Amino acid sequence: MPPIINVQGISKAFGANPLFQNVSFTVTEGDRIGLIGPNGSGKSTLLRILAGSEDPNTGEVAFRKRLRVSYVEQDSKFRSGATVRSVVEDAMERGKVHSTERGTRFAETLGRAGFENLDVEAVALSGGRQKRLAIVEALVQAPDMVLLDEPTNHLDLAGIEWLEDLLAQAAFASVIVSHDRYFLENIATDMAELSRVYPDGILRVRGNYSAFLEKKEEFLHAQSKRQEALENLVHNEIEWLRRGAKARTRKSKARIGKANELMEDLADLNVRTRTVTAQIDFSASDRKTKRLIELEDVAYQIEDRTLFEKVNFILTAGMRVGLVGPNGSGKTTLLRLLRGELTATCGEIRRAEWLRIVYFDQTRELDSNVTLRRALAPEGDSVIYQDRVIHVASWAARFLFTGEQLNQPVERLSGGERARVLIAQLMLQPADVLLLDEPTNDLDIPTLEILEESLLEFRGSLVLVTHDRYMLDRVSTIVLGLDGRGGAESFADYSQWEVWQAESKQSAKATARLTPRTAISEGTSPAKTTLSYLEAREYATIEERVAEAEQLLQAKRVQLEDPAIASDGPRLLNAHAEMEQAQNTVDELYGRWSELEKKKS
């Protein structure tokens, strides 16, 4: 199958620092390519090049004729005053969607995304809803390829599952930058890592994230063996040169040239394989108290809406709590209650005396006017960490910052760099309890793995809010779930929470679809059956009922395309639900028809 995009030998640099060099790869129809790499490796820049909004310094990017590409940036941006409706309508105008298709596409896409109020301003939406709207904006343009930069940031777990289903059923190709390992495991048909550790600047593997990890390990093992062999060869050549090579002969000259080539190859390999990771280690206090925070019948209400009620929970020493729930269920609010920043509407929160709580805010609030030096070491040119004095340059190096960056304003830092600064600040504060609100946003996978190890080794207690299901599963010893309807329940682990959610969604459907079956005595084979009197009457009319159900389904489809309904959020959702119900009825009737046919034959 010919590629829809062909990238050959592209390089990109800003100033003297290259992001990537001589990178080549292709995208074909149906590909879902998960793109990973260390922070600063150029993943977002590569997406902009594929989107055509930025040019490489060298190399070529060839696009198939009339290729339609949609690009969803990491941070959602909407013009002031734009509503959900106008954002989608403008997107279809830009995508030159034919007028006869707009009503259906508008209704189906927004209906699946779950938007009810189409006249609300886009900038007034929550971060998760803005991300959904940005994805919808891309989809209604009927693209051949979608580029997604960290699409799971700000989405709650339900939103991530919605996106996974959407991508799994999509006909378009996609390239997705993400650090969410479960997400990549579930949706990727190909994985690619952009990193200087690879000779070609990129390693691409057919398969999901697990398959990629296996192939990457094989590659790095082979590269390590090659490096070891090369080191031995270079050592032998250096010994030969030290003994005084006779450079006059043609053979000696060739060997000297070969020795220089080997040394250059080894130097290049050493540079590429030199990896540096952030050093994260939170400081715990030596508190001996067992019960740190107790919640008794705690509720919180905003105006006339109850976020949660009757929450009873005890945070004990060493407990690692994963706090989960849909957007708007009150996760951040509960963290602020634990911190003492808010007061519960009713109920009681008891904290141990002199409890030291350290809070990581998801908004990444840093004083943008100060330099990195002052952000890392506010009091001078050193910090005190675990009773040791460390110079700010060494402290910065722990978090992958160079000495040249120390005088750089904080406002110029990327999202991942800001997260590392906040983690550095938290590490200077001994804590009994860590409250972490979405600490994984913008962090690359190597830094995530270091953060996970640090949290596992932390001797205090922590409450973690994150959409990273892998981290939740690995770190949390207990999960507290908020259902978004005021309820709260504890689970042994994240997997149990997932199972409970899935069972809750499917129980009603499963109950409705259950049909009584004729019992078969143990040890006997089922005898050939014939239709009972009632089944015979049912069989006589089922063809007519199937025809009626199909007519109703067609009517619901026509209703969904009505412009008057497409412009009314609640009616749109209702029409979409009615169409799905009609489709289910048709499917069930055909299934029952097949059952009766088998019994009759």
The per-residue pLDDT for range 210-234, each reduced to its tens digit, is 888 888 888 777 777 766 665 666 6
Answer yes or no: is pLDDT of 516 > 50.
Answer: no
Q: Domain total for the chain?
A: 4
109-118, 489-498, 504-513: the lowest-pLDDT one: 504-513
DSSP states of 393-427 as a string?
HHHHHHTT--GGGGGSBGGGS-HHHHHHHHHHHHH
CA 237 to chain CA centroid, nearest Å: 49
Per DSSP, 124 falls in state G
Cβ atoms of 122 and 17 closer than 8 Å: no
Residues paired with residue 316 on neighbouring β-strands, in sequence order: 291
- With a CB cutoff of 8 Å and minimum separation 6, the contacts of 255 are 237, 240, 245
List beta partners, residue 35.
Answer: 177, 192
* Whether 343 and 435 share a structural domain: yes
CA-CA distances (angstroms) from residue 557 to 26, 36, 241, 242? 38, 40, 82, 84
Q: What pLDDT, on a 0 to 100 scale, did the predictor assign at position 268?
A: 60
Per-residue pLDDT at 526: 43
Same-domain check for residues 145 and 122: yes
pLDDT attached to residue 243: 63
* Dihedral, CA of residue 256, residue 261, residue 263 and residue 266, to nearest 10: -160
Q: Give me the mean pLDDT over the 255-278 stretch.
A: 58
Model confidence at 152: pLDDT above 80: yes
User: What's the mean pLDDT in 495-524?
Assistant: 55
Lowest mean pLDDT among 109-113, 398-402, 531-535, 575-579: 531-535
Q: Can you name the residues that pair with 236 across neighbouring β-strands?
A: none
Say yes or no: 60 and 127 in one domain.
yes
For the whole model, what pTM was predicted?
Answer: 0.67
Quote the strand ranges of 276-338, DSSP E. Answer: 291-302, 305-316, 320-324
Which range has the worst mean pLDDT, 262-276, 282-296, 401-415, 531-545? Answer: 262-276
Q: How far is CA 424 from CA 38, 152, 188, 272, 396, in A?
A: 19, 25, 33, 27, 8
User: Which value, to the nearest 10 degrees, does the dihedral of the CA atoms of residues 328, 332, 334, 337 take?
Assistant: -130
Q: Is there a single domain that holds both residue 261 and residue 374?
A: no
* Whether the predicted pLDDT of 387 surpasses 50: yes
User: Are 343 and 480 contained in the same domain?
Assistant: yes
Angle in degrees, 0-180, between the axes of helices 127-139 and 157-169, rounded to the nearest 10: 10
Higher pLDDT, 139 or 591: 139
Query: How many degrees, rounded to 5, is the angle at CA 314 between CA 313 and CA 320?
Result: 100
Burial 335-358, CB ≥16 within 10 A → b, else e:
bbbbbeeeebeebebebbeebebb
Mean pLDDT of all residues in the chain? 80
Residue 575 maps to a domain: yes
Q: Is residue 111 part of a domain?
A: yes
Task: Judge residue 579's burial from the number of C-beta atoms within 10 Å of its C-beta, 0-12 exposed, 13-18 middle, 19 or more buried.
Answer: buried
Weakest-pLDDT range from 17-21, 228-232, 395-399, 427-431: 228-232
Say yes or no: 17 and 152 in one domain: yes
Q: Dig out the tokens for 259 from the structure.
A: 């020795």
Half-sphere exposure (Cβ direction) of 417: Cα atoms closer than 13 Å: 19
The answer to whether residues 268 and 298 belong to one domain is no
Segment 69-74 shows an average pLDDT of 91
Domain CATH number, residue 364: 3.40.50.300
In the structure, what pLDDT confidence band is assigned to residue 545 with cuts at 50, 70 and 90? confident
> Strand, coil or helix: what is 518?
coil
Mean pLDDT (whole number) for 32-55:
90
Whether 203 is covered by a domain: the verdict is: yes
Query: Is the distance from CB of 305 to CB of 333 less than 8 angstroms?
Result: no
Same domain, 341 and 437: yes
Domain of 243, in residue numbers:
222-273
Run of H or E residues at 99: helix 99-113
For residue 512, what pLDDT band results from cuts at 50, 70 and 90? Answer: very low
Which pLDDT belongs to residue 124?
84
Same domain, 163 and 298: no
How far does Cα 551 stand from its chain's mean position? 41
Contacts of residue 309, defined as CB under 8 A and 6 or more positions apart, other chains included, come to 297, 298, 299, 300, 346, 486, 487
The whole-number pLDDT of residue 127 equals: 78
Is 582 contained in some domain? yes
Same domain, 145 and 173: yes
Instruction: Identify the residue whose tokens are 């030096």.
Output: 373
Take residue 484 and report the two structure tokens written for it: 């978004």
- Residue 523: what pLDDT? 40
| Predicted local confidence at residue 226, as pLDDT | 66
In a domain, 442, yes or no: yes
Residue 576 covered by a domain = yes
| Cα gap 345→535, rounded to integer Å | 58
| 279 vs 139 pLDDT, higher one | 139
- Condensed to tens digits (0 to 9), the pLDDT of residues 334-360 reads 999 999 999 999 999 999 888 999 888
Within a domain: 397: yes
On whether residue 76 sits in a domain, the answer given is yes
Same domain for 469 and 325, yes or no, is: yes
Q: Where are the alpha helices (DSSP H) in 296-366?
A: 331-339
Question: Do residues 233 and 209 share a domain?
Answer: no
